[in-house]
Amino acid sequence: MVSALEQQSTKILSRLIATLITIAHPLIFLFAQMNYVPISVFYQFLVGGLILTVALLVGNRLLGHRPSGKYVQVTLTYFVLALVLVTLPSPSIWTIVYLYLTISIVYLIPRLVILAGILGLIEMAVFTMLGTIVFMNTFDLIVAYVIYLMIFSAAVFVAVFGRNVMLAVRQEQERSEAYAATSQIALEQTAATATEVTTFTEEMSETVDAAKDSFSQVDLAMQQLAHDAAGSVQAIREIRQLNDQQVNRMEDVTVAVNHALERSSSSRTTAEKSRQTIGLAGQSLQQLTTSMDDSVTSFGQLAGRFQEIVAITSSINAIAAQTNLLSLNASIEAARAGEFGKGFTVVAQEIRNLSAQTAEASKEINAIIERVDQDVTQTGNSIHASTTLLREQEERMAESQLALQTIETDTTEVVGSIQSAQTQFATMTSSLTAITTAAGQLDTFMNALLAQSESLSGLTRHQVGQVMELQHAIHALNETASTLQQTNR
């Protein structure tokens, strides 16, 4: 493989020698006209010069791109030297050998300079023996050859170190080109990274906006839940008060039944009053049954609210997981952005911690709601059982009322009916007492749920604030990426 420097050197050498031959033609013709040389010498130089000029130019065109081309050119150059020595016999013409030796340095190839030096030394020796080159004495001969050898050594030295310098320059140029290519690739990668950061920040900004809207909806839902819970607390308290009143009434009825039992042998008027009292108790039981049905309905609605809370907390968990994933992607993209992404890495980490706290709080709320749902279900079942029992009591009160209608004819049966009613009233009192206790527990739970709802609402508002801070950070990162893109351009 021939380097561009060698091809250029071959081209320069062929054209330089051809130019020198062309310039020498009129000079030799002038010497012939001045009778310094015969005219035949001019024709000899003219023909030989034309042949060698054509050979040099054709050799450069045909062999300039081949490794052997430079050797052919140097050999033809020394044929031109031989033509000059033959054509211009002069005691000092041999000094032109130094010029041709110096010309061979153009390649900066030590072995080519050595070839040229050996050819010049051979031509000097041959033409000295032929008498074309004449020295005055032996000393002049020795001095001429010593000077030639010195120039020969200097030419080799220049070729060796000149080629080393050229190689060093070429390596430095290649390193510069490689560094330029690497810099270009780095700039392209930086531009691509800046584009990716811009795209990512736009996508994350959309996600943050969606998260902000979701948190706002959660806040509204928590506020609605707190309002409903407050209403439920008030309803439970009313149920508890009603149960207390019913217990008091049942105690009054029990006292009346006892009094009726003591006066079972009294007149029909007393029995009639007892029957009326039991009728009033039946109405109270019917009202209590209606209240119990309302309580069951309220508990069903409360259970539905709990399911809505579970759905909301599930949405919070999903949003927290998506926020955690987005913060992780943000940390990666911030790490790729280098120094520009350090501030955003801290924000992404804080968001990741916040999403983890949100997920943990949602889990605690789900656990509390699950326990409360179980308690509500159990209480609803108890109320349903009490309602069934109250309906049974209504039926029995009706039977008691019928029995009181026959008390006028059969006092013994009246006494037995009153004793049975006394037992049922005791059972009803116990059931109502249990309902009162359950209502108290449910009241305590609803108060706790109200407090948790308010706490979660506050946490949601805090998260909205954090999301707004994240929006500002994303905006700053987007501006940084845009600045980096403009810098690369």
Task: Report the percent of the chain where pLDDT is more than 90.
Answer: 0
pLDDT tens track for 58-80: 888 888 778 877 788 878 888 88
CA distance 429 to 441: 19
Asked whether residue 277 is assigned to any structural domain, the reply reads yes
Q: Average pLDDT for residues 128-156, to the nearest whole number? A: 77
Tokens in use for 177? 């080109």
User: Domain span at residue 120?
Assistant: 4-134
pLDDT of 18 above 80: yes
- pLDDT of amino acid 2: 67
Dihedral through CA 439, CA 231, CA 296, CA 394, nearest 10? 70
Asked whether residue 176 is assigned to any structural domain, the reply reads no
- Cα 228 to chain centroid distance, Å, stands at 43
369 plus 227 within the same structural domain: yes
305 plus 391 within the same structural domain: yes
Domain count, the chain: 2
Asked whether residue 22 is assigned to any structural domain, the reply reads yes
371 plus 477 within the same structural domain: yes
What's 477's domain CATH number?
A: 1.20.1270.250
Stretch (H or E) spanning 474: helix 411-488
- pLDDT of amino acid 425: 60
345 plus 205 within the same structural domain: yes
pLDDT of 326 above 70: yes
247 plus 128 within the same structural domain: no
Q: What angle, 0 to 180 degrees and rounded to 10, lies between the N-to-C axes of helices 4-33 and 39-63?
A: 170
Asked whether residue 157 is assigned to any structural domain, the reply reads no
Read off the pTM.
Answer: 0.35
Per mean pLDDT, which range of 50-59, 159-168, 329-338 is the poorest? Answer: 159-168
213 plus 123 within the same structural domain: no
Q: Cβ-count burial of 348 within 10 angstroms (0-12 exposed, 13-18 middle, 19+ buried)?
A: buried
Asked whether residue 152 is assigned to any structural domain, the reply reads no
In the structure, what pLDDT confidence band is assigned to residue 104 with cuts at 50, 70 and 90?
confident
pLDDT higher for 468 or 46?
46
- pLDDT of amino acid 184: 78
228 plus 368 within the same structural domain: yes
Q: Average pLDDT for residues 245-260, to the nearest whole number? A: 71
Backbone angles phi, psi at 294, to 5 degrees: -60, -40
206 plus 66 within the same structural domain: no
| 84, 109, 134 - which closes a domain | 134
119 plus 224 within the same structural domain: no
Asked whether residue 170 is assigned to any structural domain, the reply reads no
Asked whether residue 159 is assigned to any structural domain, the reply reads no
Tokens in use for 253? 């009825």
| 134, 151, 178 - which closes a domain | 134
pLDDT of 251 above 80: no
Q: What is the CA radius of gyration of the chain?
A: 59
129 plus 204 within the same structural domain: no
303 plus 380 within the same structural domain: yes
pLDDT higher for 78 or 488?
78
Asked whether residue 167 is assigned to any structural domain, the reply reads no
Q: Average pLDDT for residues 153-171, to the nearest whole number? A: 74
| 79, 113, 134 - which closes a domain | 134
